[in-house]
Amino acid sequence: MAHQTAHHTETSHHAPVAEHVEEHTTTGINHRKLLMWVFLSSDCLFFGSLIATYMVYRGQSLVGPYPVDIIDVPITTISTFVLLCSSFAMVRALAATNEDRQGAILFWLLTTAFLGAIFIGFQVYEFNLFRAEGLRIDTNLFGSTFFTLTGFHGAHVTLGIVWLLGLAWIAKKGRLGPKTALDVELAGLYWHFVDIVWIVIFTLIYLIGGFDTGPAVDPSLVPHSITGFLGLI
């Protein structure tokens, strides 16, 4: 049966007509879709271990810069909004695909990729700023765990952008529509997953951990207004 489905999936790309054939799977779920969900499920473990590592080493860095020294919450809140917007654009892309509105498919796919690229732009800016301020991946435990976790997330977003651009290229050729909507849907699932991972990272590293001082600095003595941009508010 697995063989049958593999065959079906393989052909569906080239012969959209075959997409009409209802798949007979024991679960009643398209195999590609199930595979995507299993992958996302396993990615929870991947990010879970990186998040756990951040938590284990939180507040244990021996040298600065510590989070309170450089984390800039407002800037990252903006990039969080950008990523949320991209998720909305992604659902629009899928809706357009289901409704076979060719121009809209291309527009929303490119919008999603563009917003994702803006998010990555914020991240590149932030990484550069941190590096200039003395935080590198080998500076302290905060640097190691921060760059590893957010870096892997950024890599996920980047991969998503490449995927979306690939889809946009196919859409431009007019090959996306209701019959191949699953292609867009799978990319969408991946994209939204990257969004929810960011929801967790943003809360943990920025909103909760962003004001951590070094172990030897009494946090109650730290005037938080010195925290860069946030101090202006």
Of 94-133, which residues contact another protein (CB under 8 A)?
Answer: 94-95, 98, 133
Output the smallest distance, CB 147 to another protein, in A. 17
Instruction: For residue 206, give both structure tokens.
Output: 């920025």
Give the Cα separation of 165 and 187 in Å (integer).
11
Select from 105, 201, 120 the least CA-distant residue to 156.
120
Share in percent of the chain as helix, strand, coil (round to 5): 75, 0, 25
In the complex, minimum distance from the CB of residue 205 to another protein, in angstroms, rounded to a whole number:
12
- Considering only residues 17 to 76 of the shown chain, the ones binding another protein according to CB under 8 A are 22-23, 25-30, 33-34, 37-38, 40-45, 47-49, 51-53, 55-66, 68-70, 73-74
Tokens found for residue 205? 């590293």
Query: Could you tell me the smallest distance in angstroms from the CB atom of residue 227 to another protein?
Result: 8
Q: Which of 71, 69, 59 is nearest to 142 (CA)?
A: 59
Site for another protein in 138-177 (CB under 8 A): none
Task: Tell the smallest beta-carbon distance from residue 172 to another protein (Å).
Answer: 23
Number of residues that bind another protein (CB under 8 A): 94
Q: Does 13 bind another protein (CB under 8 A)?
A: no
3-state secondary structure of 137: coil
* Sequence-separated (6 or more) residues with CB below 8 Å from residue 226: none
Nearest distance from residue 60's CB to another protein, in Å? 4
Write down the least CB distance from residue 65 to another protein, Å: 4
Phi, psi at 25, each rounded to 5°? -120, 155
Question: How far is residue 176's CA from residue 106's CA, in Å, rounded to a whole number?
Answer: 9
Tokens of 79: 């990039």
Q: Which two tokens stand for residue 27?
A: 């679960």
Q: Which residue's CB is nearer to another protein, number 48 or number 121? A: 48
Both tokens assigned to 199: 């929801």
From candidates 149, 168, 170, 181, binder to another protein by CB under 8 A: 181
- Contact between 134 and another protein by CB under 8 A: the answer reads yes
Q: Convert residues 209-228 into a mask of x (bound to another protein by CB under 8 A) and - (unbound).
A: xxxxxxxxxxxxxxxxxxxx
Q: Considering beta carbons, is residue 110 or 205 the nearer one to another protein?
A: 205
Distance (Å, whole) CA 206 – CA 199: 10
Q: Does 233 bind another protein (CB under 8 A)?
A: yes
Minimum distance between the CB of residue 231 and another protein, rounded to whole angstroms? 8
Q: Give the residue with the Cβ less far from another protein, 172 or 192.
A: 192
